[in-house]
Structure formats: structure tokens, C-alpha cells
Structure 1
Amino acid sequence: MTFYGIFFFYIIFWTAVVSPTPILNRRDGPKTKFFDLTIEKATLSPDGFTRQLSTINGQYPGPTLEVNKGDRIVMKIRNKLGEPTAIHAHGMLQRDTPWFDGVPWMAQCVIQDNSEFTYNYTVPVEVGTHWYHAHETLQYVDGAFGPLIVHDPDDPYKSEYDEEIVVMLNDYHHTDAQTLLKQFLTPESQGVEVRKIDISTKGSKCVDNAGLAKFNFVQNKKYRLRIINTSAFSSFLFSIDKHEMEVIEADGSYTKRNKINRLPINVAQRYSVIVTANQPVDNYIMRSEFQKKCMPKAAASLPTVKAIVHYEGAPENSEAKDNPWSDSLAECVDLDHDTLQPFKEEKVPASTKKMEFTIGFHKNSTGVVRAFLNESTYIPDINFPTLHKIFKKIPLNDPRANAFIFDKSGEVVDIYFINTDDGEHPFHIHGYKFWVLGTGSGNKVNEDELNTQNPIERDTATIPPTGWIAWHLESGLLMQLVTLPDEILKMHPPDEWTKLCETGERER
């Protein structure tokens, strides 16, 4: 996509949640984990500038939710945001509970302000590093998100590290997301994702003790870093000076050991890496570099965002020496899938159907630049969610729904995305993981080069070549995959879910 302006100012907010490696007792069996979450506005200063944020239990980011494989999650949402909301657990497949997926106008009606709703589902197969976030408009950009970790008693790497640390990477704006969205979805913006915003943020108070995030290491211990990119805009190169990393997980899928110095992590992706504290006792820099080739030229002035890795026994207030890794990495693409291999190889079954979609951005009839898949831009039906239509046996024949129906059990579908836009696009699928068979340049897929022997399986991948999942979602870059609708009709959604739409009707 062509850019016609100067991007807005934003920073990265780091947070760490440190816990010892969980001890999982198989004899305990699955448990029910209850989480009571209040979504509301609060005035905070995470980077020193004071502004109003969307918080979870008063926190930014929200609390870490930790469960074990097989557990049941009962998550009560108390909405006090002043506007409707819905919560999606990113990476949870919601098998047999599609009504708890948390996507407004597809999986559910919204949770109205000053009301409650409970998500209640099991995690029978999901493991690894995930996150939860508001899925209504751009609420998660303003802070409504948090980590969701599913521990696995069969984790092949669980004996190879001493502690876990959750690291969340996030682009953080001094202007609220709704203001930015209104600027973007106007004819005047010409499809520019970013606009110039005064760095001083008029009327904002400054708190000068924000400081850098600090991660505490003990020499010779091994740490599993669970790294989550919760951005709406930014892709990063993550690293720790003088410390190698071994990738062991991508989006909840175990991988073979993959030794790297810097990790490219794009929008909505998650990785686990093992880091050994094998350096002299000192302070070291943890850094997140912007993938600037995916951004407008004005991004060249963005600094590297830093945190501190503090070894026990090192001076508390001494500055860490600058020792960045110097190896070259490709930007605007995922970690090389030729080296990112699954822990257990699995031959991909032959496909029974092939689908091809061309991605493009251009003006619609009102002059606003929108995203198009095969010349169709997604527009939600805010009166009647897709899942409700299925239960009511209403045909999904509105072309604006971008809905594709799969009614044969066991079907294997190859989906090809041809990107005619000059930016990268992150794609996340709900309800499934997918095998990444290959990527390349140009406008034609070379099927002879696809990997069907040992491809990585994940739920978020980047279509090359600047990853803006939230902005593009709001622009209409979305498709619905409706699988086995006749089987859905045999299911029985809970009354509380059905009443969400009834409540919405009264509110309208």
C-alpha cells in the first residue's frame, strides 16, 4: 500500500510475568478455573504519559490467565467500558463451543455496557502461549488484552528450563484508537494507516518514573520466554544482547530446536524460546527493533525499544552496555519456515479443494480505501450474527459477508492468497490451525515448491510483503469459513448467549 503521510508517535510497552515452571500432576485431572474480569476505563501512565485506557481489573495489560491442558475456563466478563464489548481467546479452538469464540456479529452479539456474560469452554487439545483480547472495534488497541497460558503435562521441553517469563510486545498510542480509526476510514486519509499526532499529547500529565522494564535472571539458570506480539500495527525483531535463543514453540505448536540470535515476531504471533543465563553477572539489554522496511520512510527515526536483563548480584543502577547482535534478518516476513520445523513430523494429507484469493486495497463507492478479497470487502451484519443465522436456517448469501461454506466432513482445503498490495498482511484463523505450505513472491503459486512433508502448523502467519491486523480487519480484510452447518444445527447454544441478541435489540 502507498503511504502519504507521517506516522503517528507510539511506543512499545513491556510487561513481565515471572513464575516457576508449573508442576502438573496427572492424577489431579482436569480442573475448572474461574476468572472474574471487569473491563473498564482507567487513567494510567504506563510510559510516563497519562491517558485513559481500557483495562482489565484495573490493569494494563490485563492479568495473566494460567490453566492446564484439559481444564475448563469459566471467564465472567463484567462490562463497564461505557460501550459494548466481546472477548476472544486467541488460539483457543472452541471445538463444540463456537458461541464462545468472542467475535461480534459472527460468533455472538455484543455484551452491552453495564451487563455481564460468561465464557465457559474447555481446552482439550490446546497448549502453549496465547492471549485474550477485546474483539469489538479497536478496544484491545486501547489496552483490553492479557496473556493466556496453557501448560502441558506432556511438554517435551518442560524439564529443560527452570522458570518461565511472559514478555508482551505492544504498540501503544497516546491517542485513543477510535480517533485514529475515524481518521483512517475517511476519503481524505487515502488509506493511510497512520497519521501525524503531536508527541507531547496536549493536556496529558507526565509521570517521570516509568523506567524500563526489568527481567531478573540468575546465572546458569534456563528461562522459557513466552513472547507475545499484541500489536495492532508493528512487527518486531526481538533479542537479548549476548544471549542466544532456542525456539521451541510457535503459536501453541512445539518445534524442533531452532537456535537464533534475533526473533522476527509479527502481529498476533507467539513464540517460546529457551534462554540460558550463561554470561558473566552483569546487566544486559533486551531489545525490540521495529521492522522498519514494513513501515513508511518516516519510521527510520524510531529508536530501538529496550528493557533490562538483570543478573542477580549485578549492580542495580548501572547502565547496560550496548552489544546488539549484528546478523542480518529479512523483514516483513515470518521466521523462516524451512528452519521452523514441527517437533513431530506429520505428512500433510492431499487436498480435496483449492481456493485462491487476491488481496487488494482501493477506494469504495464513498471514496474510502477499503480492503478487498477477490473484490469483496467484508461488512458485518450488526443485527444478526452469522452463527445465529445458521441456527435460524437463514441462507448466508450476502456477498458482503465473505462467507464460504464447507459441508463435507474431512475436507482438506489449500488456500492461496495472492497479495497485490505492497504491504505484508497477518492472517489469523479461528477454530483451526493451518499448515504453512510455503510463501513466495510474485502473483502465481508454484505448487512444486510447497512443503507437504513437514510444514509447521500454526494459527497466525504473514502474507509477504507491515502487519496491521486490527486496521485491516476494520477495513474489511476478513473472510468467514463456515464448516459443517448441518452439524452446527444439532448443537444447543446456552440461553445466556441467545439472550445477548435479545438484550441488544432492546438497547437499539
Structure 2
Amino acid sequence: MKKVTLAPDGFTRQLTTVNGQYPGPTIEVNKGDRILLKINNKLGEPTAIHAHGMLQRGTPWFDGVPWMAQCVIPDNYEFTYNFTVPVEVGTHWYHAHETMQYVDGAFGALIVHDPDDPYKAEYDEEIIVMLNDYHHTNAQVLLKQFLTPESKGEVVRKIDTSTKAPLGSKCVDNAGLAKFEFVQNKKYRLRIINASAFSSFLFSIDQHEMEVIEADGEYTKRTKIHHLPINVAQRYSVIVTANQPVDNYIMRSEFRKNCMPEAAASLPTIKAIVHYEGAPDGPEPKDNPWPNPLSRCVDITLQPLKEEKIPEATKKLEFTIDFHKNATGVVKAFLNESTYIPDINFPSLDKVFKKKPINETSANAYVFTENGEVVDIYFVNTGEGEHPFHIHGYQFWVLGTGRGYKWHLESGLLMQLITLPDEILKMQPPKEWTKLCELGER
């Protein structure tokens, strides 16, 4: 991992990269494979890498979340994540999980191919499409602006001016739009990944219908759509048939402005080109978007490919989400009036191994000691905007949604689930993992 100067959109800036690439190299494996991610940190600052969507059953120390699952990897140091993917399949991604490094480019696709993929005969080729809210300003600068009393917690008010290149940035000619190659009448599985810091998108291809077949590594029943709403960290697979006349078409990613603060109104539609083999390499295609039926800030409703019986809950937790000023005047996120603050000297998993309590209110930690517990978690949004959640180490059922009230990790919108600590104590973390915390004590 190193910082390099690149110009992915035609304007130069320094990016945090994996192997000097933006996005980082795609990792493709098969179900059951072992993955070794050797991290050689040359960033000039600590880092950690999270393999998003990997459950890490039996290897919780390789989840890559600083101050919960590990101590950080120091600068100029090597560390290897070593884990298998016995049950995981589908479309995932990896990214730095230390401060805002992935927003500056430290991310890439992670695909787990399934030999028993029920849709394998339904498409001819695969294409990876990564979406993100790319900024010209360094993410640490944006975060510092965001976490000030003046920001009022509205990150877009701080980032909308950065859509123009900052002073001193060099222009690289002929950067052009991203281009995806289609062959008429072929069927394509698009693996779409939202690697944004903050933004929800509405993805579509002019004049091309899509069929959703996978969401976050889970197969779904076929669902025909024209627009795909995709939130931060979500992944979908859709099948697209190249059944239009040989020509060029616009692939578009629109900011879901009705899910964002008012300042988002100035954000542009991001475009790429779908180029049919044999079509001219001419000017940008004319706009011909699908009519937009998604006027509200809602997700699509999907059903799992295989019906599942949902067990009765043995425990229920309710969390009220709110954003307001803390004691220093900075707008932070609160769950039941508690904002998460990491213990940067003592990761939670290490506390479990050392039988230390995790009882600080700011840890937002909930301990589950009974094997087989079924927990219903209710989130009540009392403010404006939307706040996506995902959960590490588990797959879950969405029981329902309804109208209510409405950065998120850096604002403290996080809780920890400590599952079966007595079972964790029977495990033996690798020495390389333990050494990371010892290095921090030097």
C-alpha cells in the first residue's frame, strides 16, 4: 500500500492505493479457497484492511477493523491476513478500515465464484462496475471540516465545492468516460459495488432492462428493474441482455438526492458508455434515460432464491438514531444517546482474550452469551436523511421497513456485538496478530 499521484477523472491528486492502482486490483477466488492478503504498508501512516462480506468464522482477528478486531498495522511493516471462504459466494469488496483511507482510493473488488451458481448458465460474461463518490480533496481534510461545530453534520455542504479541481491540480487530456464493451445478443452479469463514503446511487443503463439475481452475496429470485438503488457498501448482481441495436448507450449513476441533504442538488449525474461491438467511436451518446419511478428514498424489495423460515426472536433490541452536538459542539451520531468512541489502545477482541470487561458506555458493546440466540434489532431514525447499516460476521433477514424520521462510522454510528465470549476464549489468535498491539506499545 502506498500513496501515488493519479488522475482517474482527468485531474491529478494524491491517492491512497493498493499496488499503486485505483481502484485496487480485483481479487477473484472460488468458494472454499484460502485468501492471503499480504499488506506491505508504505503509506506513512497506520492501516488495516477489511474483506467486506467475508464472515471470518473461526478467524475473527482477520476482520480488519481497528480497535475492535485488531491493532493497526504500523507504517513500514508487513502483515498477512489469512482466511478461508468456506460458505461465502458472490460480489464483495475489500477496503482500508483505518480512518478515511478507502475514500482516498484504498479499495477493490473481491469476487467469490460459486461452482454451484444457479444462474451460471444465464449469462455469457461478467463485468465489475464500481461506484463511488470520488473527491478532489483529501478525505482527511473533508473529515476535519465535517467534524467541526460549523459543519452542522451536513457532509455534502463541505464536499460539493470539491467537484471542481482544486488549485494546483494538473489536467490530463483525453481522460474520457469509462467504457464497457458489449456484443449484441450476449448476456452480461454486472457485479455492481458501491464503494462510497456517503452517497447512495441510482444505477441504470439507457434502454436496457436489468434482472437482479444477487444481493450482498445472497442469491435472489429474478426481479426485473430499470433502476437499481444501491447504498454505501451494498453489492448487487444484475443480468443485462445486449438486445438493442448496435450503438453506444449511456450507463448512469445518479446521486439519490432525495436521500441526501439539500446541498446534494448540485451534484452531477455520473456517466459511462456501453459500447456495442461494431458501433462507431463517436461523440457521447444522446441521453435517453428510463423514467424514474423511485421518487422516495426507498430500497427495492427482493426475495431470497430459496425460501427460509425465520425463527422467533429470543431477544429484541431497539436503537434510536440521532445526530446532534456533543459536549464540544461537534455534530455526532448517537445510538440511544451513546456515540461510539474507539479504545485506541486496547481492541475489543483482545479484551475478550484477556478477560477484560467492555463496559464503557462509549463502546456501544452488546454481549450475547447464549448459543442459538435470535435477535431482532429495530432502528428508529428520528432525524433527516438515511443511515445505512451493515453487520460484520453475519447474514440476516430484513424483517420490515416503514416511514419514520430520519459519514457514518466516523460520526460514531456504530455498535459492537460480542458473540459467545466463552467460545472465543477457546480460540488461539496468531502470534502475528498479537504482535501488532505489542508494536503499538513501543
**Coarse TM-score class (shorter-chain normalised):** over 0.9
The corresponding residue for 1:306 is 271
Indicate yes or no: 2:245 matched with 1:280.
Answer: yes
**Contact 2:211 / 2:239 at 8 angstroms: preserved in 1?**
yes
Indicate the larger mover: 237-246 or 192-201.
Answer: 192-201
Alignment of 1:97-496 (within 5 A): 97-194=59-156, 195=158, 197=161, 199-335=164-300, 337=301, 340-442=302-404, 471-496=407-432
Paired AA for residue 259 in structure 1 = K
Pair 1:367–1:318, CA change in 2 (3 A): closer
In the superposition, the TM-score normalised over structure 1's length comes to 0.85
SS at match of 2:408: helix
How far, CA to CA, are the matches of 1:299 and 1:413 in structure 2?
36
Paired AA for residue 83 in structure 1 = E
- The unaligned stretches of length 5 or more in structure 2 are none
How far, CA to CA, are the matches of 1:298 and 1:118 in structure 2?
42
Aligned pair count reads 439
CA-CA distance at 1:398 after TM superposition: 0.9
User: After superposition, what is the alpha-carbon deviation per residue over 1:130-156, rounded to whole angstroms, capped at 9, x for unaligned?
Assistant: 000000000000000000000001110
The corresponding residue for 1:57 is 19
CA-CA distance at 1:305 after TM superposition: 1.3
**Contact 2:89 / 2:113 at 8 angstroms: preserved in 1?**
yes
Paired AA for residue 170 in structure 2 = K
Identical-residue share of aligned pairs (%) = 81
In the superposition, the TM-score normalised over structure 2's length comes to 0.98
Pair 1:298–1:191, CA change in 2 (3 A): closer
How far, CA to CA, are the matches of 1:383 and 1:182 in structure 2?
22
How far, CA to CA, are the matches of 1:418 and 1:295 in structure 2?
18
**Moved segments of 4+, more than 4 Å:** none
SS at match of 1:74: strand
**Contact 2:322 / 2:333 at 8 angstroms: preserved in 1?**
yes
How far, CA to CA, are the matches of 1:483 and 1:110 in structure 2?
22
SS at match of 1:435: coil
SS at match of 2:389: strand
CA-CA distance at 1:372 after TM superposition: 0.6
**Contact 1:291 / 1:331 at 8 angstroms: preserved in 2?**
no
Paired AA for residue 346 in structure 1 = E
CA-CA distance at 1:331 after TM superposition: 4.0
CA-CA distance at 1:318 after TM superposition: 4.1
Paired AA for residue 289 in structure 1 = E
CA-CA distance at 1:321 after TM superposition: 2.6
User: After superposition, what is the alpha-carbon deviation per residue over 1:172-230, rounded to whole angstroms, capped at 9, x for unaligned?
Assistant: 11110101111111122222213164624011111121100000000110000000000
The corresponding residue for 1:498 is 434
The corresponding residue for 1:10 is none
Paired AA for residue 300 in structure 1 = A
User: After superposition, what is the alpha-carbon deviation per residue over 1:411-470, rounded to whole angstroms, capped at 9, x for unaligned?
Assistant: 000000111111100101000011001000237xxxxxxxxxxxxxxxxxxxxx5xxxxx
**Contact 1:44 / 1:53 at 8 angstroms: preserved in 2?**
yes
**Contact 1:129 / 1:272 at 8 angstroms: preserved in 2?**
yes
**Contact 2:261 / 2:385 at 8 angstroms: preserved in 1?**
no
How far, CA to CA, are the matches of 1:172 and 1:303 in structure 2?
12
Indicate the larger mover: 405-414 or 363-372.
Answer: 363-372
How far, CA to CA, are the matches of 1:301 and 1:381 in structure 2?
38
Paired AA for residue 233 in structure 1 = F
SS at match of 1:414: strand
User: After superposition, what is the alpha-carbon deviation per residue over 1:274-319, rounded to whole angstroms, capped at 9, x for unaligned?
Assistant: 0001111111111111111122333323332111111111112243
CA-CA distance at 1:390 after TM superposition: 0.3
**Contact 2:7 / 2:172 at 8 angstroms: preserved in 1?**
yes
SS at match of 2:170: coil
CA-CA distance at 1:242 after TM superposition: 0.8
Coordinate RMSD, CA, aligned: 1.1
How far, CA to CA, are the matches of 1:302 and 1:370 in structure 2?
24
